[in-house]
Amino acid sequence: MRAVIFDLDGTLVDTVYGHVLAWHKVLEEGGFEVEGWKVHRLIGMSGGLLTKAAAHEIGRELSEGEAERLQKRHGEVYKELMPRRRALPGAIELLRHLHDTRVKFGIATSGRRQDAKPSLDVLQLPAGAVIVDRNDVERAKPEPDLFLAVQEQLKVRPEECYVVGDAVWDLLAARRAAMLGIGLLSGGYGHEELDRAGAYRVYSNPAELLSSIYQLGLRSA
């Protein structure tokens, strides 16, 4: 295996619960009363799909304009709720380890550039790190486009890539990209939920992944 592609929110940065509550509140404002645990299971999809899924959940139609407004509002409410972002334990060290041992890696997020930037800022990424966000592709997760875009930039084959993510959407997109998924519990899904979505391995957080890195058979570039 020659490369590791990371999801961002919930995988490297501890932001999932802020996103859940922000969406919960924004959907409620918009008249979409979706239960918290169902909102949680939608996090990690593109914002457009998430709003459609929420509307479907309560049996309502959603216009493109309404979906766009909800996404914008989510960005604002998230910032109010969680002004500070924290890297997950081991995240900075894991990326540094891959960099130092010359294992290729990149980051692929369903978030838009302006929303992803504050999360990327806490990771102390090396110059030139490969990052692909919502603005770079036509369709976000669970479509495989984000992961395939990173893989192309890393100049490796899909089957040489691991995808590390906290949501079933990462694992679904990984399978569609012919990559091997690794689940992290740090997004709040249960172990079994990630197993069933096809995770090859499940670790608690980036720190546990780093301490188990030799289980992954990674090769330097």
Contacting residues toward a second copy, per CB under 8 A: 14-18, 20-21, 24-25, 28, 33, 35-37, 39-40, 81-82, 84, 86, 88-89, 185-193, 205
Rounded alpha-carbon distances, angstroms, from residue 10 to 67, 88, 188:
23, 8, 8
Q: Which is nearer to a second copy, 160 or 193 (CB)?
A: 193
Write phi, then psi, for 106 (nearest 5 degrees).
-155, 175
In whole angstroms, how close is the CB of 81 to a second copy at the nearest point?
A: 7
**Closest to 161 (Cα-Cα) out of 122, 106, 90, 114:** 106
In whole angstroms, how close is the CB of 38 to a second copy at the nearest point?
A: 9
Return the bridge partners of 51, or none.
none
Q: Which is nearer to a second copy, 86 or 157 (CB)?
A: 86
In whole angstroms, how close is the CB of 195 to a second copy at the nearest point?
A: 9
In whole angstroms, how close is the CB of 138 to a second copy at the nearest point?
A: 31
Q: Which is nearer to a second copy, 188 or 198 (CB)?
A: 188
Q: Which is nearer to a second copy, 73 or 99 (CB)?
A: 73
| Sign of the alpha-carbon torsion through 130, 136, 138, 140 | positive
3-state secondary structure of 52: helix
Q: Which is nearer to a second copy, 144 or 187 (CB)?
A: 187
Rounded alpha-carbon distances, angstroms, from residue 171 to 101, 114, 135, 180:
26, 25, 21, 8
Q: Which is nearer to a second copy, 145 or 166 (CB)?
A: 166
Beta strands in 40-199 (DSSP E): 104-108, 130-132, 161-165, 180-184
Pairing of strands 3-6, 161-165: parallel
In whole angstroms, how close is the CB of 154 to a second copy at the nearest point?
A: 28
In whole angstroms, how close is the CB of 211 to a second copy at the nearest point?
A: 16
Helix%, strand%, coil% for the chain, nearest 5: 50, 15, 35
